[in-house]
Amino acid sequence: MEKKDGVFYFKKFAVSHSRSSMKVGVDGVLIGAWANPDGERILDVGCGSGLISLMMAQRNPYAEIIGIDIDKPSVEEAYQNFAISPWKDRLRCFLLSFDEVEATDLFPGKGFDLIVSNPPFFDSGMKILDNSRKIARHKGSLSPEILINKASCLLNPRGKLAMVVPVQYSDYLLIAAKNSHLLPKRITYVRYHDTSTIKRVLLEFGLQSEFILNNMNPSDLEENSLTMFNSDGTPTIAYRNLCHNFYLKF
């Protein structure tokens, strides 16, 4: 990734984000590179400028990817970013909240194969949201809890929900997921370097019914960690391997 004139350049696409409520950042790249993109239909919730949708399109050459956001400038900018990408025929974006998806013709009868998001986690008592970034990050607009509660209704039987969250959210969300008939399949704990604390957690959930039908044991969880940088500031091999298809310098 390289920024020039307000545009972020990746190996196979570019992203403008000047109008979007959520800017291009490391969290979005991490979940875009880590989430399992298999399947025919992928929903990017809170798509912002369209970064994660574009990464999904690059990683899966067959899937239809739908991005939704409640911020109109974000949707307009995502549309422009999609239009100049190599995958414009498979990318769509809509001004729509997550709660509204099921009532539209975007919702396939068999459900989505993947719902992916870099969800807002701004937690405050604000009553007045004075700019679009605050709106996008506010829990009242979209939160990890809302994603979990609604995803079980929108996924197909083998579908997955993937998100990146601050570490302090993770234990609570694992409980919330179980209450919504979702179980963790993969967890990756992310730290900046080997002496720093864990800051982010990458989570992938599947429906409890999938575990039952396939005799899967919830204890067979794929759990690991990712350290992004060595002590000298260079990217670790694991970080390079995860993001080498996207970052220009990897």
CATH code of the domain containing 97:
3.40.50.150
Measured CA to CA, the distance from residue 78 to residue 73 in angstroms comes to: 8
**At residue 115, does pLDDT exceed 90?**
yes
pLDDT greater than 50 at residue 76 = yes
The burial class, CB within 10 Å (0-12 / 13-18 / 19+), for 171 is exposed
Count of structural domains, the chain: 1
Between 173 and 212, the more confident residue is 173
In a domain, 250, yes or no: no
The confidence score (pLDDT) of residue 70 equals 92
Q: In this structure, is residue 169 part of a structural domain?
A: yes
Q: What is the pLDDT of residue 19?
A: 85
User: What angle (nearest 5°) sits at the alpha carbon of residue 35, between those of residues 32 and 41?
Assistant: 90
Residue 64 within a domain: yes
pLDDT at 124: 35
Task: Decide if 235 is inside a domain.
Answer: yes
- Find the domain containing 109 and state its range: 2-121+130-243
Quick check: 225 and 188 in contact, CB under 8 A?
Answer: yes
User: For position 95, what pLDDT does the model report?
Assistant: 95
For residue 30, pLDDT over 50 is answered with yes
- Residue 127: pLDDT above 60? no
249 assigned to some structural domain: no
